[in-house]
């Protein structure tokens, strides 16, 4: 597992570098679009055609989403590698939001159609990556791993859960990721209205949140709460019986 953790961190460092490049390309393209007064070339593009810079951005992000989709389905050890993955996911959705804002700007100024590659990118993010992100959030909150025998696994999980929970609280990685996803979906709704293309059809309803209730934990807590109440009731009954007898005398 140490080798897997090291490999995952190396992959995530490469993801971070690619995100830097994509972020720079989007900023450059936005600058070019705002400086182009006529916009006749872009406006005359047929549906499905795409500017070379936009194409490069879309392809890079598509590759990243595919890689991240595999990583979030991996049973990573709780700790630094999990937090790093959550951070890179959050940054990925932030850059996706930046790209969506760019297309909102394009649709508002040029009334152009959305490229097919971009729609496929939205579908990949909404129907594949986002559901897996929420599953990974649940896994990260549990702080469990599947290595070792039962006794060692139980002790390791107790230590990992406490350490992981503290690290997640300090870094706020889970709330930040959820916020990034929701911002992305918010601007997708705006783009759908501007482009008259229903991009939200690719978004699955998000049911997980950082305040998600664990049913098993809740049941156990309720049972523990009921036991002292029953004990207290029986003690009160025993204490009241002698008093009642005295009143009869």
pLDDT value of residue 119: 93
Which pLDDT score, from 0 to 100, does residue 125 have? Answer: 95
pLDDT digit string (tens) for the chain, length 249 residues: 678 888 999 999 999 999 999 999 999 998 887 776 444 444 444 444 568 899 999 999 999 999 999 999 988 888 889 999 999 999 999 999 999 999 998 888 776 678 999 999 999 999 999 999 999 998 888 865 544 445 555 555 555 556 566 767 776 889 999 999 999 999 999 999 999 989 999 887 654 444 444 555 555 556 666 655 555 656 655 555 555 445 444
At residue 184, the pLDDT reads: 95
Q: What pLDDT score does 239 carry?
A: 55
Query: b/e map of 128-152 (b: 16 or more CB within 10 Å)?
Result: bbbbbbbebbebbbebbbeeeeeee
- For the chain, give the secondary structure using H, E and C: CHHHHHHHHHHHHHHHHHHHHHHHHHHHHHHHHHHCCCCHHHHCCCCCCCCHHHHHHHHHHHHHHHHHHHHCCCCCCCCHHHHHHHHHHHHHHHHHHHHHHHHHHHHHHHCCCCCHHHHHHHHHHHHHHHHHHHHHHHHHHHCCCCCCCHHHHHHHHHHHHHHHHHHHHHHCHHHHHHHHHHHHHHHHHHHHHHHCCCHHHHCCCCCCCCCCCCHHHHHHHHHHHHHHHHHHHHHHHHHHHHHHHHHHC
**Residue 43's closest CA among 112, 115, 113?**
112
Least Cα distance to 86 among 138, 155, 158 occurs for 138
> What's the confidence (pLDDT) of residue 110?
72
Spans of all domains in the chain = 2-212, 216-249
Distances (CA, A) of 228 to 218, 235, 241: 16, 10, 20
Full-model pTM: 0.73
What is the predicted pLDDT for the residue at 204? 74
């Amino acid at each position: 597992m140490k080798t897997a953790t090291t490999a995952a961190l190396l992959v995530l460092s490469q993801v971070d570098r690619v995100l830097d490049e994509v972020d720079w390309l989007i900023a450059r393209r936005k600058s070019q679009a705002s400086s182009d007064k006529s916009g006749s070339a872009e406006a005359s593009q047929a549906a499905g055609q795409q500017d070379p810079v936009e194409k490069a951005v879309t392809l890079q992000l598509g590759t990243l989403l595919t890689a991240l989709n595999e990583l979030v389905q991996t049973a990573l050890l709780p700790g630094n590698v999990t937090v790093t993955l959550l951070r890179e996911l959050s940054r990925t959705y932030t850059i996706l939001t930046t790209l969506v804002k760019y297309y909102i700007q394009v649709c508002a100024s040029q009334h152009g159609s959305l490229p097919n590659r971009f729609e496929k990118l939205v579908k990949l993010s909404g129907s594949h990556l986002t559901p897996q992100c929420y599953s990974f959030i649940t896994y990260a909150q549990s702080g469990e791993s599947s290595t070792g025998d039962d006794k060692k696994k139980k002790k390791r999980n107790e230590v990992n859960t406490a350490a992981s929970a503290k690290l997640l609280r300090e870094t706020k990685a889970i709330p930040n990721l959820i916020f990034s996803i929701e911002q992305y979906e918010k601007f997708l709704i705006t783009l759908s209205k501007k482009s008259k293309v229903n991009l939200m059809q690719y978004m699955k309803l998000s049911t997980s949140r950082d305040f998600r209730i664990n049913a098993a934990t809740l049941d156990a807590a309720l049972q523990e709460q009921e036991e002292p109440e029953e004990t207290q009731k029986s003690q009160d009954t025993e204490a009241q019986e002698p008093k009642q007898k005295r009143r009869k005398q």
